Structures are given as structure tokens and as C-alpha cells.
Structure 1
Amino acid sequence: MPAAVAFAATAIILSLAMTTAWAAVTRGAKSGWVDTTWSFLVGAAGVALALAPIRDWPADPARQRLVAALAAAWSLRLGLHIALRTARGADDPRYATLRREWGAGWRGELFRFLQIQAAAALLLAGAIFLAARNPTPGLAWTDAAGIVIVLAAIAGEGIADAQLARFRKEPSNRGRICDAGLWGLSRHPNYFFQWLGWTGYAAIAIGTGGDYPWGWAALAGPVFMYWILVHASGIPPLEAHMLRERGEAYRAYQRRVNAFWPGRPRSD
């Protein structure tokens, strides 16, 4: 199978799947199912491209399986977390913010937004593909580094999500800002670790000598995730929501704690 055919087929499937998610939301489904769908799609597309029999694109089978396993682990953890959170009643406030901004034409805007998400999923699946297709025979220290980075990212994101869930379950914390654990080092530690994982695929793709030209293109993964999380659909709408809900308490939290990069909290 030529690589162009594999990517074209993946693009069509991603677009159709996000169209299905759009149809569900416009008929009343919670917006959290959009992110659930997207998380599973990125992992599924990455695994499929990593393992697909691509003509004229040599790869080490052990590296292919390794990268596919990492992508599947990340996708399943995140997708199941969002699915359970959505099923229990919680929804993502970012979509409510976007819907208010879009106004009467929100359905058309949402459709375009989710097609952009489908394109983003293809880009990220491409980064997984490039890591899996590093043709260097045998596993090297960069593969080990990539494994450590991705697993640390999965663990860190899981810990951050668990800490926030525990904080919200405590009745005495109702209306308060979570600044416990990792949330005292970053206002969005889950986003930080989500970004970090994509640097692991880049490390595997580039390899020890950096002589696999396509490997450098895998840096598009962490670059894109940083932009989308920090400057686009991640932090900005979520923080706007929190400022409306918590007001001065959240402004104080913003003054104390970094938005993205973990660091020592400042005195308010």
C-alpha cells in the first residue's frame, strides 16, 4: 500500500468520524463525547498507520510494535477518562464558551471546528507514523528515551486527572480552586503532560544520528500540541470560563501558578 493511499483513507475515516460526533452534539449529546471520540481516533489512526504494510517505507518491526503500543496506551487512558467523566454528568465548559461566541450559526461553526480537529488528528497520527517508520535497525537509546517520555506523560496526565477528581469529590472544596499536587505547580498539568508525550515520539523518530530526514518532521507533533493547548482551544477558553465562574479567586491562582510549564508557585 502506498503511503499516500494510507493517509488519504485515514483522512476520510477521521473526517467521517468527526462528522458523526458533530451530528450527535447538534442533536443534544454532551460535547465531552467529541473529545472522547477525538482521543480514540488519534490513537486508532496512529496504531493503524504505524502497523500498516506501507510500500517502499522500510521499518524495524520491533519499533513499529513499540510505537503502536505507546499510542494505544495513551489513547485508551485519555479516551476512557473523558468518557467516564462525560457519562457521570460533567461536561467540557470550553464548548459552551465557543457556542456562546458562535451565536446562531454555532452548528456550522462547530462542523468546521471538528473538521479542523480531524485534520489535527491526522497530523498527530502522522507523527506516530514517522516514529514507527524510523528505518534504523534495532532499538537504540533514543527509543528508550521516547518510551520513558511517553510513559511519564501518560502517568503524569493520569495523576493530574486523579488529583482533580479527588479534589472535586470533597464537599468542602466546592467552589474552590484546585491547587493541590501537580495543580500547585501548573494551572493545567494535564495539558503539559499531554504535550510532553509528543516529544517522546519525536525522539524516537529522529533517532541517534538524526540521519532519517522524515524523523525531524515528527517535531510537528509537539509544536502543534503546544500551540493548540496554550494558544487556541485549550487554555484560553477554559481560563475564560474559570474567570467567569471563580472571579478574583482564579485571578489570584493565575498570579501564583504558571499556566503551562510546571514551576515553583509564587507568593500572591
Structure 2
Amino acid sequence: MLLKLFLLDVVIMLISWLIVTYNKRAGLVDVAWSFCIAVNVICAAFLLDIAPVSVRIFIGLSSSIWFLRLTWHLFRRYWHETEEDRRYANMRRTMGQLKHWGFLAFFIFQAVLAILFSYPMLALFSSPVTQWNEWIHWAITAAALIMLLAFIGESTADQQLYRFKQNPNNQGQTMDQGLWKYSRHPNYFFEWLHWFAYPIVGLAAGLYLLWIYPLLMWLFLYYITGIPFSEQQALRHRGQNYQDYQQRTSMFIPRQPKE
């Protein structure tokens, strides 16, 4: 199953790479990555008839809805962009004449990451009924509450930022209203929170390894792909306006802003 899903993800990424080769807007890779995870979850939920029905229904629905919403949000943002995402524009300049094959390798690597971040759901789907203990319903209830809070938080933050950017009067300004008043990256915070749902469900099946995923996502967001680049770009393009925002607003965990 894992190999088949990986090959399917590679096909999705290759199609996306061909599109990007034509339109020179590599931000499509983010859309494809989220879509790959959604496809992996949906396929596994239907094809792996091993785990308890309650687990298959909860993880299948909640996780696929989560990543399909994220796919739609990223696609909507991508569709309305007139220029290539600065992250990938910088990559294109750095790779120079090797950019064609460099982006091919990058897209294939994203298929690897899609499988990596699909593993918690696949592990839960692959755990036989006899492996689960009597705490399964409590674990699903707790995970459902976390998933619901994270879904409301991230979708709200994404929608608030989307509407802010659609207003031409906000050009060069920093979004500091709504959830963005309490965190400079509320969307990342709720994305991270969502990853706690899987290890909590996994407690009822002895899948303690899944606790590495909240840590892994935090490392990606906090140090690698998320916050560092976003902060650098914001400072470069908004200068003092963003510095003032940094001084009064928490970087990650939402809390009351400083006076």
C-alpha cells in the first residue's frame, strides 16, 4: 500500500511539475503536496479494512477534510497570484541553468514528504482491531476536539489573511487583526495543533511513535520551511511596519499582544 501511494504521489507531482515548467509558477507544489496527503488518506480509508470502523471513519473524514480544505485554500491563493511565490523565485534564480531538473528533483522530494506526513494516518488504518484497548472512544473524542479547534482556527486565520490581501488599500501593510492580533503565524500554530490528534488516537493502539509528528511539524514550521522565510520576507517588504508588529505580537503561540 505504501509503495502504491508513493507512486501515485509521484504521478501527481510529475503532472504538477509539467504545469510549472509551462507557467513558471512553482507555488503549485504546495497545492500538490496537500492534495497528495488527502488522496493518500482517502485511498487508505477505503482500501485498508483492518482498523476499527470508528477509527477509519474518524480519521478518514477528519483528515481528508483537513487536507482538502488546505488544498483549496492553497489553490485559491495560487490562482490569484500574478507572480511566482518569492520562495520559489529565489530557488529558480539560485539553481540557474539547472532549474528545470532542480525543480523536478524538488517535486519528487515533495512526494516523499507527502508519504512521510501521511504515515500517522496509514499507521492508524493498519492497526488491527485486536491491537486497540478500551480507551479508543475516549481517545477519538479528545482527538476530535483538538481537530475541531485546529480546523476552526486555521480556516479562520487563512480567511482573514486572504480577505486582507484582497483589499488593495492594505498593500504594504501588516495584517494585525483577528487571530493575527495574537500571533504572527496563527495558521502555522493551528496546523501544528492539528498534528496532536493522531498520536492521541494512537495511544489506544500503542502507537507511541506517532508523538514524533507534532515535534517534526514544529521543527519544519519553526526552523525550516515556515516562519523563518515568512519573517524574512515580511521584514524585507514591510520594514518598520513589520518590526513594530514583531515587538508587540507573539511569534507562534497566540497570546495577548504587548502594549
TM-score, with structure 2 as normaliser: 0.88
Q: Give deviations 1:65-113, integer Å, cap 9, x for gaps.
A: 2110011110111111111222223553322233344444333333333
- The 5 A counterparts of 1:1-268 are 6-53=1-48, 58-89=50-81, 92-134=85-127, 135=129, 136=132, 139-207=136-204, 212-213=205-206, 215-267=207-259
100-109 or 139-148, larger mean C-alpha shift? 100-109
**Identity in percent:** 31
Task: Check 1:233–1:175 CA distance in 2 against 1; reply closer, same or farther (3 A cut).
Answer: same
CA distance in 2, matches of 1:177, 1:34: 26
Q: Indicate the RMSD between aligned Cα atoms, in angstroms.
A: 2.1
How big is the shift at 1:159? 0.2
CA distance in 2, matches of 1:131, 1:259: 32
Task: Check 1:206–1:107 CA distance in 2 against 1; reply closer, same or farther (3 A cut).
Answer: farther
Task: Check 1:24–1:202 CA distance in 2 against 1; reply closer, same or farther (3 A cut).
Answer: same
The aligned length equals 254
**Runs of 4+ with deviation above 6 angstroms:** none
CA distance in 1, matches of 2:38, 2:216: 16
Task: Check 1:21–1:70 CA distance in 2 against 1; reply closer, same or farther (3 A cut).
Answer: same
Q: Give deviations 1:97-141, integer Å, cap 9, x for gaps.
A: 333444443333333332232111111111112234454267411
CA distance in 2, matches of 1:157, 1:8: 31
Report the AA paired with residue 88 of structure 1. H
How big is the shift at 1:143? 0.4
CA contact under 8 A between 1:21 and 1:34: conserved in structure 2? yes
Task: Check 1:200–1:152 CA distance in 2 against 1; reply closer, same or farther (3 A cut).
Answer: same
How big is the shift at 1:28? 1.9
- SS of the equivalent of 2:172 reads coil
Q: Give deviations 1:208-264, integer Å, cap 9, x for gaps.
A: xxxx33x11222332222121111111222222212111122122222222222122
TM-score, with structure 1 as normaliser: 0.86
CA distance in 1, matches of 2:180, 2:58: 31
How big is the shift at 1:147? 1.1
CA distance in 1, matches of 2:154, 2:235: 23
- SS of the equivalent of 1:75 reads helix
